[in-house]
A and B are shown apart, each in its own frame.
Chain A
């Protein structure tokens, strides 16, 4: 018993001393820490960077280790932009794949909530309009407010409406501001060039902040153009955050049926090539003006 007690005592003492020593060390570290932290901070601003996980396209990303036929897999991946061949860690995704997912999701949200860069609007010479939404939040929570122009904007359209033009081009942020930022500068000149070569006239394009497709109906009524081409940011997904949709209608009227619109969707870098879409929309306008209809009816010709 005595022996045991003694042994316990000496162990206690030993532990106590060790703890005390360790605490002393830590206090010293804490004192030094101030200096160290400042140093690390300095270093991190110089060298630190976070790898951009979205640089490589999903189609070029392949993480299967020791694949039997990596080339065959890559060929297969060319037919889908889905997250194929991203491998796993046990039952969970690899950190890299998970971070990529979060990044793509963030980019999609960013596209919805951001505003179109003013420099781009200026560069392309858009006339700016607004819907009756007072803010992005209101626009997203009450989408109907995106369908009508604010009273000020109605005046601007009236002032700038060029009677007797064939085509009125309208851009709207819709659900993706980055769709406008990435594609407008290529779609617009290709479209205008195409219209010109077909002998069609067009007015200065409008840009509607917090605008939806249907806002083009009001612009159509006010401007009296034969055809209104509405280029609207499409709802982003995890694969494409900057996709533009073209909604083209002959003499649109407020509250008209959706079937009167002809749609060319998926206009972006890896979808319908923007310059080709612009060139094609010009021909579409020509055929609408020739037949005086658009949408489903045009398809029945």
Chain B
């Protein structure tokens, strides 16, 4: 184990397969030891540089509306070659399937095939809330929120969905998704309407708008529709009351605003037009309603009620988020068995209580929750996550170790590795204590400074920074 680590750059890839576009980026993640020479190493990510951006491709689909995997692989191969990057050099990365594409029949299969294809530790991510946070981070909205100490929202308006993420002092506090996007109506070269999304059809019927498949697209009618779509976004950010369409347009759960939004940024393909609209532009040049939607956003009361800012990225926000902002690193005092790394897609069992706070037995609670992951009498691999105690005493560490071992009996009986994620800095002492109790040979990963919740999945990569830290990706549920 090396302790004199100063600086390292690792290569990360991000691949986003969205409703309308597919993109890829490579970025350099810079790690540095921030501790002075008289302290234990404290490795932190100090910078992220995007070093290569692919072209923006239309997402290839097959005739029966599946994702055309072969074509996607061709795109990836071409871009790797063009960027002169070898898959072996990729230390970390994420593939994300977003918007309507996530609902295609073969989405899950494509996602997992690609994550293996793009590099050894490139993980698969999806889920509307995660998508929102990733695009918000890619847009740089979290940074704006941190720098200005303010509540800042980002809305990533793509082809199929609009993803809202709200950051307070840099931390994500709300995320949600609505079925509002630029390609919910598609046209052919002659501006004839060839596709209308089901939810949009309902609005058209209800409002008696003159929009239907086979007809020529009419700017005025579509503007009326776009106004209603924008009203849903306005309601979501709290500048106008919710109307009868609001609940229908939500992709999943509603996104209650915990705090009033002060600033707002837009990202996604439609945002590009919001910020950089030209006059006399053909509104149907992309053969969809994106430009009209952007126009209506620009004239929305959001621009009067909230302070609109420009993000760092617009159309590439999601792919930048996937490439630069999904991976994190563990704390710098940890215990692990290198032989069991990397681990991928391990479900997280979260113990909500602290040993001291409530009189619930930690081990019994843990055993109960672990039992949820018994399928056909077989115990699945799990990772245990809990808050821990800030600066615990040695006795407390021993108590945690005992309770964990007792609660994880089924995991140990099944000879699965012990994977522990604790928020507070205590993993090295805890890991060593567990090893003393279980024997040194039992496979174990015990890392800290990692926050993971119930229903999350975790990936842990091979050691970086001279073995001092492990790369970690915490994901919300892949496909609900």
Contact = CB atoms under 8 A, between A and B. Distances in A.
B39 A265 contact: yes
B142 to A, nearest CB: 14
B432 A194 contact: yes
A9 interface: no
A189 to B, nearest CB: 4
Determine the main DSSP class of B at the interface with A: loop
Interface residues of A, number: 35
Interface string B429-445: 10111011000100000
Interface string A64-83: 00000101100110000000
A276 interface: yes
Contact of B393 (A185, A197, A287): A185
Contacts of A193: 429, 432-433, 436
A72 B145 CA distance: 11
A298 to B, nearest CB: 8
Interface string B1-18: 101100000000000000
A278 interface: yes
Interface of B: 1, 3-4, 37-40, 149, 169, 333, 335, 390-394, 397, 425-429, 431-433, 435-436, 440
Contacts of A275: 391-394, 397, 426, 429
* The 10 A-B residue pairs with the shortest CB-CB distance in the complex, in nearest-first order: A72-B149, A275-B429, A279-B428, A279-B429, A263-B38, A189-B394, A265-B38, A276-B333, A269-B391, A186-B394
Interface in A185-207: 185-186, 189-190, 193-194, 196-197
A27 B13 CA distance: 91
B443 to A, nearest CB: 15
B152 to A, nearest CB: 13
A197 B40 contact: no
Contacts of A249: none
Nearest to A269: B391
B40 A272 contact: yes
Contacts of A300: 4
A274 B432 contact: no
Contact of B169 (A71, A186, A196, A276): A71
A270 interface: yes
A238 interface: no
Contacts of B39: 264-266, 272
A276 B149 contact: no
Contacts of B425: 273, 276
Contacts of A284: 3
A280 interface: yes
A265 B432 CA distance: 22
A190 B394 contact: yes
Contacts of B427: 276
Nearest to B427: A276
A280 B391 contact: no
Nearest to B146: A75
A264 B38 contact: yes
A266 B433 CA distance: 23
Q: B4, B432, B435: which has the most chain A beta carbons within 10 Å?
A: B432
A276 B426 contact: yes
Contact of A280 (B4, B149, B390, B428): B428
A283 interface: yes
Contacts of B390: 273
A75 B169 contact: yes
Nearest to A283: B1
B34 to A, nearest CB: 12
Contacts of B4: 299-301
Given A185-B393, A274-B391, A197 B436 contact: yes
